[in-house]
Amino acid sequence: MKLVFATHNENKFAEVKVLMPSHIQLVSLTDIGCTEDIPETGSTLKANAQIKADYVTEKFNLSCFADDTGLLVNALNDAPGVYSARYAGEQKSAEDNMNKLLMALKGQSDRKARFSTVIALNLNDERYSFEGTVEGEIVHQKKGAGGFGYDPIFRPDGYDKTFAELPLETKNKIGHRGKAILLLIRFLENSKSR
Ligand code: IMP
């Protein structure tokens, strides 16, 4: 069965493709000739993921899933949340975003935060969603060179290193996206027998 992963991020696509059950033929937006940047106009992670999945299903008449991720900071009433990519402006710079967040938390003792990934799946005219989260805290200064986005300032609970200092295997195992993808994969494996 053909299933579209609605992402333009080739690294994300490659990571997920190897995990798919054998009855799923995973194809990318490039594979189906979708070059446009699908607008993320929703006010929640779930709404944005659904908008992206619906765009592909409606325009190309294909089963599809899409993901959306945000960093939710306790002391900032869960900001930047759905606006994580553009927190410091339309340039979507990870450095600018981290600097702005560190400034916003200056002098703040409550540094609790969590990453959340929501996946929306449109499969055979039905809609499903899956969520993965990881709890942690925002450290006082950037540490580590791995990962991307806010990884250098996020330390997951139970570890003394940031996501940017931890091996990718660890991040995938305990992280938000890895958990959401695992739920999706389990569901797809079971869907074969339905
Ligand atoms: P997206 O939904 O994957 O586009 O992610 C939205 C924003 O959240 C990105 O621009 C990143 O800055 C941030 N982000 C997403 N996933 C991660 C992650 O695993 N680590 C750190 N930051 C992330």
pLDDT in tens, 136-178: 999 999 999 998 999 999 999 999 999 999 998 899 899 999 9
What pLDDT does 192 receive?
Answer: 75
Q: What is the mean pLDDT of residues 119-144?
A: 97
CA distance 4 to 119: 13
CA distance 80 to 87: 6
Candidates 83, 96, 150: which one to mutate for ligand 1, based on the most atoms within 8 Å of Cβ? Answer: 150
The number of helices, as runs of H, and strands, as runs of E, in the chain is: 5, 7
Strands 112-123 and 64-73: antiparallel
Ligand 1 centroid, distance to 192 Cα (angstroms): 31
Q: Per-residue confidence at 193, pLDDT binned at 50, 70, 90?
A: low
CA distance 34 to 68: 18
Active-site residue 54, yes or no?
no
- The reply to whether 142 sits in an annotated binding site is no
Task: Record the pTM.
Answer: 0.94
Ligand 1: residues whose CB is within 6 Å? 68-69, 84-85, 92, 94, 97, 147-151, 163, 177
Nearest ligand 1 atom, CA 176: 19
Residue type, 189: E
Other Cβ atoms less than 10 A from the Cβ of 96: the count is: 14
Ligand 1 centroid, distance to 149 Cα (angstroms): 5
- Please name the helix (run of DSSP H) or strand (run of DSSP E) that holds residue 185, with its range, or none: helix 176-191
Catalytic-role residue among 31, 37, 54, 68: 68
> What is 2-193's CATH number, 2.160.10.10, 3.90.950.10, 3.90.550.10, 2.40.110.10?
3.90.950.10
- The reply to whether 11 sits in an annotated binding site is yes
- The reply to whether 12 sits in an annotated binding site is yes
Q: What is the mean pLDDT of residues 118-125?
A: 96
